[in-house]
Structure 1
Amino acid sequence: MSGRTVLLVDGMALLFRAYYASAYSGYIKKTSAGLPTNAVHGFVKYFTDAVKRFRPTHVVCCWDMGSSTFRTEQFADYKSNRGAPPEDLIPQFDLVKEVVDSFGVPNIGLRGYEADDCIGTLARHYADDSGAHVFVLTGDHDLLQIVAERVHVVIMKKGLSNYAVYDLAALFEERGLTPGQIIELKGLIGDTSDNYPGVKGIGEKTALKLLAEYGDIDQILANLDSLSASVRKKIEASLDMLHLSRDLATIRCDVPVSCPIDGCLWSPDPLRLRDKFEELEFKGLAQQIG
């Protein structure tokens, strides 16, 4: 077994969480030149806390690269329910990548795909090809579908240092589902936050019952005659959307993105970091580096 542990960070999940955790008070931290930095400051706190907790030997940060992806091409309404980001968050998108870079951590993203697809691809590569243990840091339950023998998904909960860590056993114990069944579930019930409907009229309770009995959507469809008339009718009325929803829910683990494991060794340069923190007027963080 490799002694290597890779932390894959879902950058947007941390940045948005950090923004809203600090913005609700109404006070937005800014530099003396007026540049907003509250989300970046919070991001650093979440990020360094996770590094302390999971002690990775290697770290990579993945990002969405704009809102149009192959999923919006498949389904125009995908994520169309999301408003524009807050004004004072926008300049922090580039700023946070500079900060990640000053830790010596690669920023990875690919136009046309979501950060989840980059995370899924890299997680599989590091676990299968490099024999590393992988921890994925996110707030996004969609990523539970990539849990595997050497891939753990760490869901950030409210507050600092509050994590739910999922391996195969924990996922099954809590949800009664395998990673693959997370996709099947979303195919059946859709996803309100990503704005696709699944099968109209089928809720989580019915979907979980169907998956417990038949395992996956293909087997449910092969056994339509055994279902109750009302459930069968709902599925038959939404067949196209059922297949589309399952496809939209599927994280791609084979996208053309790479970051060799030797290129993401965790060994930040304290001087470089301190310079960046001083530039952003993060006095407390700069002092901690000493």
Structure 2
Amino acid sequence: MGERNLTTKHTIMLVDGMSLLFRGYYATAYRGSIRRTSTGIPTNGIYTFVRYLWDAIQTFGPSHVVCCWDMGKTTFRTELFSDYKANRPDPPFDLLPQFDLVKKVTESFNIPNIGIKGYEADDVIGTIALNHAPELNVHILTGDNDLLQLVNERIHVIIMKKGFSNYAHFTPERVLEEKGLMPHQLRELKGLMGDASDNYPGVKGIGIKTAQKLLHQYESIDGILKNAEDLPKGIRSKIMSQLDMLHLSHDLAKNRCDVPMSFSISECMLSLDKGKIEKQFEALEMQSLLKLLDDPFS
């Protein structure tokens, strides 16, 4: 459940924009009724995105907020492995116009939108998180467990669950409790067993139980390889015969925290201009959302 006003100062919330927008779209589209403006522009994803975003801001009370976005399908990962995420269908037609419109909404909240070509939003989030954790507590808002590898004492991941005000707040202790591994080992896990949702295989024949057992014993893929002679013959054979894919999967799974980008903390201090937001809501015929801003927080 939510932890309202957990922090109110010196905390930056890094929002996984695509995660919130897709979640907002599918949370309403499954009913078969797409919210539209009087001119037919679909806005259901945007409408629910705003509700998710504002609920998280109200719940966790960040002093700074920035929204991070993917910038197309082509990234350094697709250059490394052409089948990376190739199994994912194209976005629904009614979602397409909402990609640009939702960014106008976040801009009306004075929340910067950041995306870097060639990288995923996760990499942008990781870069900002690592660079600014020494000065700010970091909360990452997402529905994506991939970002759990970033968790440490200063960087927490807030996973959105079904409905509103329903979050799983991951600290290092919670990651260990629920995943059975430390945050930095989650990349090692994906290197071994792959990731079906991202469409790379890891080492075929190595499942989650075997991968976890190996990591409990040897800590990392490097540790496993250094002790290869001690592995059971069948496991050793699978790993050694698929070393190229093991290393490639390990590389694909890494959250890059060195994205070349310029970013100023001062630009994302939360400062609302209700008139500016109202103008954008009116343009998208979402005036009913203005009541959300009546909370004393605003």
TM-score range, shorter chain: over 0.9
* Partner of residue 149, structure 2: 145
Note if 1:62 corresponds to 2:68. Answer: yes
Note if 1:279 corresponds to 2:293. Answer: no
Shift of 1:134: 0.5
* In structure 1, distance between residues paired with 2:249 and 2:269: 37
Identify the match of residue 215 of structure 1 among 219, 223, 228. 219
User: Secondary structure in 2 aligned to 1:136?
Assistant: strand
Identify the match of residue 42 of structure 1 among 48, 52, 68. 48
* In structure 1, distance between residues paired with 2:38 and 2:9: 44
Note if 1:239 corresponds to 2:243. Answer: yes
* In structure 1, distance between residues paired with 2:215 and 2:234: 17
Shift of 1:74: 0.3
Shift of 1:289: 3.9
* In structure 1, distance between residues paired with 2:291 and 2:223: 59
The gaps in structure 2 that reach 5 residues or longer are 1-7
- 1:133-282 matches, within 5 Å, as 133-282=137-286
Identify the match of residue 23 of structure 1 among 24, 29, 32. 29
User: Secondary structure in 2 aligned to 1:13?
Assistant: helix
Post-superposition Cα deviations, 1:203-249, rounded to whole Å, max 9, x if no partner, equal 00000000000000011011111111111111011100000000000
* In structure 2, distance between residues paired with 1:24 and 1:147: 33
* In structure 1, distance between residues paired with 2:23 and 2:111: 20
User: Secondary structure in 1 aligned to 2:199?
Assistant: coil
* Partner of residue 121, structure 2: 115
Q: Is the 8 A contact 2:278 2:287 kept in 1?
A: no
The 3 A distance-change label for structure 1 pair 60 and 16 is: same
* In structure 2, distance between residues paired with 1:125 and 1:258: 11
User: Secondary structure in 1 aligned to 2:205?
Assistant: coil
Name segments (4+ residues, structure 1) moved above 6 Å: none
- What's the RMSD between the two structures over aligned residues? 1.1
Q: Is the 8 A contact 1:278 1:286 kept in 2?
A: no
* In structure 2, distance between residues paired with 1:285 and 1:14: 17
Number of residue pairs aligned between Structure 1 and Structure 2: 287
Post-superposition Cα deviations, 1:11-65, rounded to whole Å, max 9, x if no partner, equal 0000000000000000000000100000000000000000001100000000000
Shift of 1:287: 4.2
User: Secondary structure in 1 aligned to 2:97?
Assistant: helix
TM-score normalised by the chain length of structure 1 = 0.97
Q: Is the 8 A contact 1:157 1:164 kept in 2?
A: yes
The gaps in structure 1 that reach 5 residues or longer are none
* Partner of residue 99, structure 2: 93
Note if 1:102 corresponds to 2:114. Answer: no
Shift of 1:169: 1.2
Shift of 1:286: 2.8
TM-score normalised by the chain length of structure 2 = 0.94
